[in-house]
Amino acid sequence: MLLAFALVLLLAVLVSSLAHRTVLSTAALFLVAGFLLGEETTGVLHLHPDSPILGVLAELALFAVLFTDGMHAGWSDLRSAWRLPGRALGWGLPLTLGVTALLAHYVVGLPWPESLLIGAVLAPTDPVFAAALVGNDKVPARLRHLLNVESGVNDGLALPFVILFLAVSQGSGDLHLDDLALELALGVAIGVGVPWLAIRLEKSRYFAASTAYEPLNAFAIGLVVLGLAQAVHGNLFLAAFAAGVTVATFGPAQRKAFDKFGELVAELLKLAALLVFGALISLEFLGDIPWQGWVFAVLALVVVRPAALAVAFLRSRLSRREQLAAMWFGPKGFASVVYALLVLESGIAEADKIFHLVALTIVLSVIAHSSTDVLVARSFDERSEVPQWHETPGPDEGPGHGTSPEPDQEPRPGTSPAPGRGTVPEPGREPDPAAAPPTAPEPDPAAAPEARRGGPGTD
């Protein structure tokens, strides 16, 4: 297992530059590698649904991802631009859950508790399969912000519904809602209290972190939250998300120091979980899914999110192209993988069926979204699609300086369409000596025809 993961990781590092420019993605690479190395394909990885490593790895990976996701959802981040993400989360997320549950019940025939459970499992999105879109600076910033914030927050928002519907699906006459509420409350309390206290201590005059140890501060906070939540039986995942939000809100310096290091830790655990998840899938596994399951998976990708966001974005200021891009790019990713593993580990009656449906949906999503993100992102490279406020650097300026003309606006007479400070004579008009720069030489009569064409180098 370790050798396989190390070799695939090395390959992912070697092709990572290519992956950023093409339809490849490192997440898809680990998923495919797990599929090829699995027990029923080549037999290199001996993993089964009841393997102990599944639960442990899923738990650690989801904790790390929710912790880092929470750090991107600090109060200042949400307050600065909350309207569009608020629409996607406040309306889009519950509508996605509900419509998915309807499909699971009426198309596949799952009971209502299990239908709602699979709706919660498939509700989160993951921008890793749309990296070319969220990483292209010519894509409108509000669209990239929307996709990033939505995917960073919906993992944590969907979690309580997964826990609740999983408890309902276990079929106990007494759902122990008081115990469940206590577990969730303890998780949130630990997630808020531990980081707040740690940050206050560091800011006091008695303590200070050295430059070398600053990245470990938030890491240590995360470990304390994990250990304390396990000790008092608080919900680990809500504790992780709440801790990330608390660090982002009260400790921006700690978040900044932890950012790159934390992302790498979370990425390693995420890729390991994807490798394990892929190893559980095989051609025989996919062949066991009836045609109703395939119909469900396709509709979950091409109908559910577009329908949910069409309602969420009513009367919004997003352009039609931006809305279509947001509707399409709701890829099912890591959070759904881990939630599916948790359902499989729970042993409920429909666990295997739910896992098959979620696995198929994720596989189709990986293929569809990771192979189209580059194409959609490149469509925004066209000048007519660049938003009016997109910043274009001038010849002597770095990124973020200067502005481009509005797409549908012609340059003013007497000005160059290219960024610059000089002027160009209008066609058919002689240069105005008074408008020439003081240091400009006298016009050469032999060059008059060339000047009337706009001058050299102005095309």
Q: Profile the chain (459 residues) by mean pLDDT over runs of 10 residues.
A: 91 81 74 91 85 82 84 68 82 95 96 95 79 71 82 82 88 69 90 94 86 88 95 89 90 86 86 88 92 96 94 89 89 84 86 94 86 75 47 43 39 42 43 48 45 41
- CA–CA separation, 448 and 100 (whole Å): 70
CA angle 187, 191, 194 (to 5 degrees): 125
Long-range contact pairs involving 377-383 (C-beta distance under 8 Å, separation at least 24): 377/132, 377/133, 377/135, 377/136, 377/138, 377/139, 379/321, 380/136, 380/138, 380/139, 380/140, 380/321, 381/136, 381/138, 383/407
- CA–CA separation, 444 and 348 (whole Å): 88
| Cα first-last separation, the chain | 59
CB atoms within 10 A of CB 53: 11
269, burial (CB in 10 Å: exposed 0-12, middle 13-18, buried 19+): buried
- CA–CA separation, 93 and 122 (whole Å): 10
Question: Which residues on neighbouring strands pair with residue 279, listed in sequence order?
Answer: none
CB atoms within 10 A of CB 265: 18
pTM over 0.85? The answer is no
Burial code (b: 16+ CB inside 10 Å, e: under 16) for 355-392 equals bbbbbbbbbbbbebbbebbbebbeebeeeebbbeebeb
Q: Is residue 346 within 8 Å of 386, Cβ to Cβ?
A: no
Q: CA dihedral defined by 50, 52, 54, 60, rounded to 10 degrees?
A: 150
CB atoms within 10 A of CB 457: 7
**Residues near 62 by beta carbon (within 8 Å), at least 6 away in sequence:** 237, 240, 335, 338
Question: In what helix (H) or strand (E) does residue 272 lie, and over which residues does it extend?
Answer: helix 252-279
- CA–CA separation, 335 and 154 (whole Å): 9
In eight-state DSSP terms, residue 440 is: P
**Total length of the chain:** 459
Provide the pLDDT for residue 131: 62
Provide the pLDDT for residue 303: 95
